Chains A and B, each alone.
Chain A
């Protein structure tokens, strides 16, 4: 509100006033925590000092840099697993939205897969796919399958009857009805499913790493925990949060670009871009 009245160079003050209370609270909590541990009110084995966690972060990320390899391994596992799970889920959902019979025969199996906690499959999948990255990718794919499948299917099936009638009365072909009407209507829900699926894929990868692995953030984490090196363990947890944030915001970005009509400013930007293209075409002719 005030940002519009102020000259643009003052946005930095606005930002500071917004962030400062948060920063003060954060440092207050950290300070209290540090004091509580150093006076022995909290056992330092269970909850390490913030300064220890800070030095563990520095050690893991900067001086030794051990985390990066594990970080990228876990990231790859969850992304590849997610891509496999998502492509299977979306293609099955599209097929079942096109054919009533296909849907009828796929859904019971999908539901059975859903009510089984996917994590229960971890040991079996490790036995099938080995100790390497394959088993983590498989678990991530299996776990991320259902939310994507169900959201895409719901989006494709749940359509506005009036609009469909309009399409048909304008003589749209089946393909046009599908690509111009059903898919755009389904995309917002599909992206919601993809976001959930991406988070669950990360969970799948990490859990499979807990069960059996040699590399990855999950292994690092359980190793540090069992050494009772809680500071390093918490620092590793931070890297999982980073992976989660990275994946989530990538998805959010894609969501904003692809489903641009949901957000006012993205809609405006997309229509500007189209206007530019049309203008260029006009100039050329």
Chain B
């Protein structure tokens, strides 16, 4: 039904699609607002204990409080995020490096396999108290925990990306007498980098969780300890606004990693491929012009 429509009048179809989309957005917003209002009124009528289940209006107020009026969240946010990024970078360098090393060396792989299995089964966040006891309170042990937590995903993904090379393609490369370096650059990396990037994305999310756990235990600074303190004081509205802050942060991390992925592993995406080939085309035509 829609096919003749679209051939007849694409403008009308686009218009219909747009109006359907706006209708959907309205419906979503309607449901969301209804839920929030239900929550608010349920709390005001007395179905929900406002001490434990804060009202949306109170949560909004404490957003204002912690961001603008008191502004105390910025310091903790900075404390957490700086450690998250440091630990993430350290952990992923370690993970990718070791993963590549183990992936290329079959002897090492054979001997490390049982340890990797054991490490995979251990909840890695559980090592947090041990590391805090070993390295003391403060930023050092936090970074160590974050590194440990985000080491594993890049490690495993690099390993599997390096190992799972398409045999047929490898044979083709060999039969065309590609050097080792060429095999690495033109075959192994293009296949492995999207997988590694997926691992990095997981690692960054894990890093945030690791930082939170470290802060729950240390209780000194950072958004995790802020949530803990607010909850202890039964200031649930502020605790919730911190948690929603983390939701926004998590969303930004997700989107940011997607963006980075589009640039680093551009060949996976249609528009990335087009962008790069357009750039190359321009460069090549310039070279031709000089000649």
Which residues of chain A have a CB within 8 Å of any CB of chain B? Answer: 21-22, 25, 46-47, 104-105, 108, 112, 114-124, 126-128, 199, 202-203, 206-207, 210-211, 217-218, 221-222, 225-226, 228, 230, 233-234, 237, 240-241, 244-245, 248
Please report the C-alpha to C-alpha distance between residue A110 and residue B28 in the assembled complex, in whole angstroms.
Answer: 14
Q: List the A side residues contacting B135 at CB < 8 Å.
A: 46
Tell me if B208 is interfacial: C-beta within 8 Å of chain A: yes
Question: Does the CB pair A126–B231 fall under 8 Å?
Answer: yes
For this complex, 11 residue pairs linking A to B, each with C-beta atoms less than 8 Å apart, are A22-B111, A46-B134, A116-B246, A116-B247, A203-B126, A221-B126, A233-B129, A233-B133, A237-B127, A241-B118, A241-B121
Tell me if B239 is interfacial: C-beta within 8 Å of chain A: yes
Nearest 4 interchain pairs by C-beta: A115-B250, A244-B121, A123-B231, A225-B129
Question: Does the CB pair A120–B217 fall under 8 Å?
Answer: no
* A25-B111, A115-B251, A123-B232 known; A233 vs B130 contact (CB < 8 Å): yes
Q: List the A side residues contacting B31 at CB < 8 Å.
A: 105
Q: Which residue of chain B is the closest to A26 with respect to CB atoms? A: B114
Question: Does the CB pair A123–B121 fall under 8 Å?
Answer: no
Q: List the A side residues contacting B96 at CB < 8 Å.
A: none
Which residues of chain B have a CB within 8 Å of any CB of chain A? Answer: 24, 28, 31, 52, 111, 114, 118, 120-123, 125-130, 132-135, 205, 208-209, 212-213, 216-217, 223-224, 227-228, 230-232, 234, 236, 239-240, 242-244, 246-247, 250-251, 253-254
Q: List the A side residues contacting B111 at CB < 8 Å.
A: 21-22, 25
Pick from B123, B240, B244 the residue with the most CB of A within 10 Å. B123
* A127-B52, A222-B217, A230-B130 known; A119 vs B247 contact (CB < 8 Å): no
Please report the C-alpha to C-alpha distance between residue A117 and residue B135 in the assembled complex, in whole angstroms.
Answer: 25
Return the contact of B227 from the options A123, A210, A230 (Cβ within 8 A). A123
Interface of A is mostly: helix
Question: Does the CB pair A225–B224 fall under 8 Å?
Answer: no
Question: Does the CB pair A218–B247 fall under 8 Å?
Answer: no
Shortest distance between the CB of A133 and any CB in chain B (Å) = 17
Q: List the B side residues contacting A225 at CB < 8 Å.
A: 129-130, 132-133
Question: Does the CB pair B236–A124 fall under 8 Å?
Answer: yes
Q: List the B side residues contacting A237 at CB < 8 Å.
A: 122, 126-127, 130
Question: Does the CB pair B224–A120 fall under 8 Å?
Answer: yes
Shortest distance between the CB of B26 and any CB in chain A (Å) = 13
Question: Does the CB pair A234–B227 fall under 8 Å?
Answer: no
* A128-B52, A225-B130, A241-B118 known; A117 vs B212 contact (CB < 8 Å): yes
Q: List the B side residues contacting A244 at CB < 8 Å.
A: 120-123
Q: Which residue of chain A is the closest to B246 with respect to CB atoms? A: A120
Please report the C-alpha to C-alpha distance between residue A203 and residue B126 in the assembled complex, in whole angstroms.
Answer: 7
* A203-B125, A233-B130 known; A122 vs B234 contact (CB < 8 Å): no
Return the contact of A112 from the options B126, B130, B217, B247 (Cβ within 8 A). B247
Question: Does the CB pair A119–B254 fall under 8 Å?
Answer: no
Shortest distance between the CB of B276 and any CB in chain A (Å) = 28
Please report the C-alpha to C-alpha distance between residue A121 and residue B254 in the assembled complex, in whole angstroms.
Answer: 19
* A123-B228, A124-B240, A210-B128 known; A117 vs B121 contact (CB < 8 Å): no
Q: Which residue of chain B is the closest to A211 with respect to CB atoms? A: B216
Q: List the A side residues contacting B240 at CB < 8 Å.
A: 124
Please report the C-alpha to C-alpha distance between residue A216 and residue B254 in the assembled complex, in whole angstroms.
Answer: 33
Return the contact of B234 from the options A104, A127, A230, A245 (Cβ within 8 A). A127
